[in-house]
Amino acid sequence: MWHEYSTVKLLQYLIPASHFLFVDRLGEDEAIFHYRRGIYFVYDDGAIVGMPKPKRWETLSFADLWGMLYRSPFVKDYDEAGIFDLGEFLRDIGYVVATKRTPLAHLFTIAPRYTPDDVVEEVRMQGVSFPFALYHAVMACTRHYHESGQEVEFAIVGIDSYSLPKERLADP
């Protein structure tokens, strides 16, 4: 059974590890990462704040980067912008997930966050990487969130990954 992961944990599965900054300075439920033209700060409660990448961002210290976040006039607080859903955040930053063929199949179970026994959908994907399958499960949660009129948050409450039989791996 899949236990509910933090926003940081899900992002760690989706965003390449090389994009995370100051990993040794933050708790396991906090993160700073860069993606495309932005730098994003994820707080322990799952809130995300982003800003455009400053010049020479690669050379900035931890303290300098935090200082720039608080001084930048171009900060986007996703909660204040009404973006609470991880799928909506990924769309906003222009996230693109790469995939490769794998000998695995994945089954994600989706349910309302606060009533995890009320399963609404199972997302099945086979022959693709875990991040690719996870991305599609996250986007299914987003679809259900919108179908509920943004009243009910949805989460992945179960996952099963297994190897595919060799005869199913061959191209048709």
Reported as a pLDDT band with limits 50, 70 and 90, residue 20 is: very high
Q: How many CB atoms lie within 10 A of CB 35?
A: 19
Show the DSSP H helices in 83-160 as ranges: 86-92, 130-147
Phi, psi of 37 (to 5 degrees): -100, 10
pTM above 0.95, yes or no: no
The overall average pLDDT reported for the chain is 90
pLDDT digits (tens, 9 = 90+) for 27-65: 989 999 999 999 999 998 889 999 999 999 999 999 999
| Residue listed under structure tokens 């607080």 | 77
User: Given the DSSP bridges, would you call strands 101-112 and 121-128 parallel, antiparallel or unpaired?
Assistant: antiparallel
pLDDT digits (tens, 9 = 90+) for 69-116: 999 899 999 999 999 899 999 999 999 998 888 999 999 999 998 898
